[in-house]
Structure 1
Amino acid sequence: MTTKEKGDKPAPKKPVKKPVAKKKATGSTARARNTVKVQKAEVALTVLQVRFVEEYLVDMNATQAAIRAGYSEKTAYSIAHENLRKPEIVAAIAEARAKQQQRTEITADRVLREAWNQVTADARELTELVVVCCRHCYGEGHMRQRTQVERDYAYKLWVDEGEDPEDFPEDGGVGFDPNREPFSDCPECGGHGYPRVVLKDTRKLSPGAASLYAGVKQTKFGIEIMTHSKDAAMEKLFKHLGLYERDNQQRVDPLASLLHSIASGNSNGFKPVAKDPEHGED
């Protein structure tokens, strides 16, 4: 073991270098690592532009996306409009949407298929209004008919009250089937029967009916079946197919067309009347 000799000086300590904090990239001058191809050329996006693309995918609201990305609220509308006209941002949005669709498996085809299912769905798979026979349709002599359970219960009450079993009124007999169709010549209902609401088992719905089904709600009046709007789904399909645009191109103002026809002397316009019977003019 060695001992430190007198006069020896300790070795100088090496200075510890403090880590230098990197300046945070801010503003439109900072460049993001994200680049997109615009006509086969690599174009870099700024940090704010990258944030704008990310925020735009949230709700497709350009102005709100600009505000959330960090642009000034005073200029957010104009900047958002300008951004959506830049080829590099348009390309970045398209690329981001494609990646988003791959991750979520939400594609335009799938959305359109869901809308088509709602439009073509048969609502009778969810609930039906069924018209069935009345109690008199198939009773003997068209008197009121009972089920066997009802007849036995009525008979027991009759006997318990001390009445003669032989005098029990059988009325229209037993065998009432509430699912039979109305009898056309029934004197009681006139062959119209009685309406009955039938709710279907939602576990057995077709894909179309399942797309239309929006849930069930218990109200004070009973069960309410909720559905998605077929009109809204149809409007989406019309817009996708461009039917509204085609209709607008074909639409003509009939009054303007008529006035133009008259002014141009077209034979399809009004012709002067030789004799006006209403005013007695010759």
Structure 2
Amino acid sequence: MPAKKIAAKARSAAPKPVKKPAAKVKPVKKTAIAQKLSKTGAPKSPEAVVPASVAGLSELEARFVQEYLVDLNGTQAYLRAKPGAKETTARTESSKLLAKPNIQASVTKGKAERSERTGITADIAIKEAWAIMTADPRELMEHRIGCCRFCWGKGFLYQRTQAEFDRAEAELAKVNEAAIESGKPVKDFDPLGGVGYDKRRSPNPECPECAGEGEGRTVFKDTRNISPAAASLFAGVKDTKEGLEIKLHSKDSAMDKVFRHLGLYNDKIQLTMPTVLIKDLTGRKD
């Protein structure tokens, strides 16, 4: 048999190689941050979509850092980063995360990135919080105590201002004119306690009407003339059924921010109980 025919026959008899299906490659799951940034049209490269502050962190760590930068509250940041977690767990795990050098470095980078984006520095934010915290609300409104109408009137009788006195006298004159025309008797003007009432004057401790306590009133200040600190505290004016209401920014919230910045909070609470008390509670004598 010719050599060419033998080779052809051998090739046709040889088993055909079995093609193996191509291995399926599981898509890499994007972190929540990468997914959020990709939706905004940012480049799909991981190096481009992940901020420098969370690069190299796990998905949970990255979310925690981003949430922590919102309010610098570790427990709340963990609860938002991992929904469903218990508060006790969040408190413990957030402390562990914040103790890690890479997390601390990420938080520092995140603050720097935020300052660069917004142009707002920590100094500016703390100065504003400090202004709210130390502002005197009396620059915006006061509750004043002044004399009552009887405090300084002659014989502790009702006292008028000069304008009130003149109006009362003029009104009585008109009444008397009409009385004369109709043939009726005229009335004498009663000066009562005289003139000179000034609500800014201090109460008379001998006044039988108010017992020296005077009358209170609320005074709103002209906001054009307040200090920068009071302007930071001022949050606007609301017109209510009872009158005007001045709204203020929370001093407690400002104090919380300043205290957190200074590291004055100690979130670790240790509960201790004397040994003697424990023995008493258990009923044991030894």
Q: How does 1:1-282 map to 2 (within 5 A)?
A: 47-53=45-51, 62=63, 94-95=108-109, 97-98=111-112, 100-102=114-116, 104-162=118-176, 167-245=188-266, 248=268, 251-253=270-272, 256-259=273-276
Q: Map Cα deviations across residues 85-130 of structure 1 (whole Å, 9 max, x no partner).
A: 895x986875564354245331112111111111111111111100
> May I ask how many residue pairs the two structures share in their alignment?
204
Which stretches of structure 1, 4 residues or longer, exceed 6 Å deviation after superposition?
A: 26-29, 63-66, 89-93, 163-166
Moved more, 103-112 or 143-152: 103-112
- For residues 180 and 172 of structure 1, what CA distance do their matches in structure 2 show? 16
Following superposition, the deviation at residue 140 of structure 1 comes to 0.8
The amino acid across from 2:131 in the alignment is: N
The amino acid across from 1:226 in the alignment is: K
Following superposition, the deviation at residue 244 of structure 1 comes to 2.1
Percent identity between matched residues is 41
Question: Which protein, 1 or 2, shows the higher relative CO under an 8 Å CA cutoff with sep ≥ 6?
Answer: 2
Q: Map Cα deviations across residues 14-66 of structure 1 (whole Å, 9 max, x no partner).
A: xxxxxxxxxxxx9899xxxxxxxxxxxxxxx982343232898xxxx827979
Structure 1 contact 151–174 (Cα < 8 Å) conserved: yes
Structure 1 contact 121–209 (Cα < 8 Å) conserved: yes
Following superposition, the deviation at residue 240 of structure 1 comes to 2.2
Structure 1 contact 116–233 (Cα < 8 Å) conserved: yes
Following superposition, the deviation at residue 181 of structure 1 comes to 1.0
CA 1:50–1:260 in structure 2 vs 1: closer, same or farther (change >3 Å)?
farther
- For residues 97 and 64 of structure 1, what CA distance do their matches in structure 2 show? 10
Structure 2 contact 234–248 (Cα < 8 Å) conserved: yes
Aligned match of 2:4: none
The amino acid across from 2:200 in the alignment is: N
CA 1:232–1:86 in structure 2 vs 1: closer, same or farther (change >3 Å)?
closer
RMSD, aligned CA: 4.2
CA 1:123–1:258 in structure 2 vs 1: closer, same or farther (change >3 Å)?
farther
Q: Map Cα deviations across residues 144-183 of structure 1 (whole Å, 9 max, x no partner).
A: 0111111111111111111678821011111111111111
SS state of the match for residue 109, structure 1? helix
- For residues 244 and 63 of structure 1, what CA distance do their matches in structure 2 show? 20
- TM (norm. structure 2) is 0.58
The amino acid across from 1:109 in the alignment is: D
- TM (norm. structure 1) is 0.59
Structure 1 contact 145–176 (Cα < 8 Å) conserved: yes
- For residues 221 and 261 of structure 2, what CA distance do their matches in structure 1 show? 33
Following superposition, the deviation at residue 219 of structure 1 comes to 1.1
Q: Which runs of 5+ in 2 are unaligned?
A: 1-26, 31-42, 55-61, 68-80, 84-93, 180-184
- For residues 148 and 96 of structure 1, what CA distance do their matches in structure 2 show? 67
SS state of the match for residue 238, structure 2? strand
Structure 1 contact 159–165 (Cα < 8 Å) conserved: no
Structure 2 contact 53–110 (Cα < 8 Å) conserved: no
SS state of the match for residue 129, structure 2? helix
Moved more, 154-163 or 218-227: 154-163
Bigger strand fraction: 1
CA 1:208–1:100 in structure 2 vs 1: closer, same or farther (change >3 Å)?
same
Structure 2 contact 53–106 (Cα < 8 Å) conserved: no
Structure 2 contact 65–107 (Cα < 8 Å) conserved: no
The amino acid across from 1:133 in the alignment is: C
- For residues 275 and 106 of structure 2, what CA distance do their matches in structure 1 show? 51
The amino acid across from 2:157 in the alignment is: M
CA 1:174–1:187 in structure 2 vs 1: closer, same or farther (change >3 Å)?
same
SS state of the match for residue 167, structure 1? coil
